């Protein structure tokens, strides 16, 4: 189980669009250095998350899992979308109140990582990863990260335990 690393990488990649939005705002205001730093920060977070997921698929212990029920888990996106768009409402990048923005993003990140709510990740969704809430026969709800489209609970999955409540499909597509 890669619990801490996986949680950090999933959270970092989930909030990476904030960096991309800041990069756009900075670029349009001719703050090229800020734009490049923000762009590279977001891209690094997404790349690191993908590397963790790929490593997990190769190295985690395999186990069979037959879900009792399946539900798409990436629909809970309003909070993330608002956070992604907030930088667009700034007047000037150099007049941003960083003393307010940095703690806000940090608090949001901590709540996301430790509150088990990081299963909305639009950037991973764009590159083909899907998030599903699945219930085990014991009544425990997990999030399964997979590149497959899960359509039936009768499907037996080969998974690895990424974190306490996140499983990753080890069969790929």
Rg (CA), the chain: 18
- pLDDT band of residue 119 (cuts 50, 70, 90) is low
Domain limits for position 96? 3-169
| Residue pLDDT, tens place only, 70-87 | 988 766 566 666 666 666
**What pLDDT sits at residue 160?**
94
Question: Residue 143 and residue 72: Cα distance in Å, rounded?
Answer: 9
Query: To which residue do tokens 């990582």 refer?
Result: 113
pTM for the whole structure:
0.77
Inter-residue contact 145 to 162 (CB < 8 Å): yes
| Predicted local confidence at residue 67, as pLDDT | 92
Q: How many domains, in total, are found in the chain?
A: 1
């Amino acid at each position: 189980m890669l619990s801490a690393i996986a949680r950090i990488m999933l959270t970092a990649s989930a909030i990476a669009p904030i960096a991309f939005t800041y990069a756009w705002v900075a670029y349009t205001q001719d703050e090229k250095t800020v734009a490049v730093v923000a762009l590279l920060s977001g891209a690094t977070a997404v790349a690191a998350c993908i590397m963790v997921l790929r490593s997990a698929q190769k190295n985690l212990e395999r186990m069979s899992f037959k879900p009792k029920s399946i539900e798409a888990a990436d629909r809970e996106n309003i909070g993330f979308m608002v956070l992604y768009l907030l930088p667009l409402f700034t007047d000037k990048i150099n007049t941003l109140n960083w003393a307010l923005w940095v703690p806000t993003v940090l608090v949001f990140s901590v709540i996301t990582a430790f509150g088990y709510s990081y299963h909305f990740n639009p950037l991973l969704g764009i590159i083909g990863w899907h998030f599903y809430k699945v219930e085990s026969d014991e009544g425990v709800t997990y999030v399964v990260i997979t590149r497959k489209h899960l359509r039936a609970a009768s499907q037996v999955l080969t998974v690895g335990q990424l974190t306490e409540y996140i499983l990753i499909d080890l069969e790929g597509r």
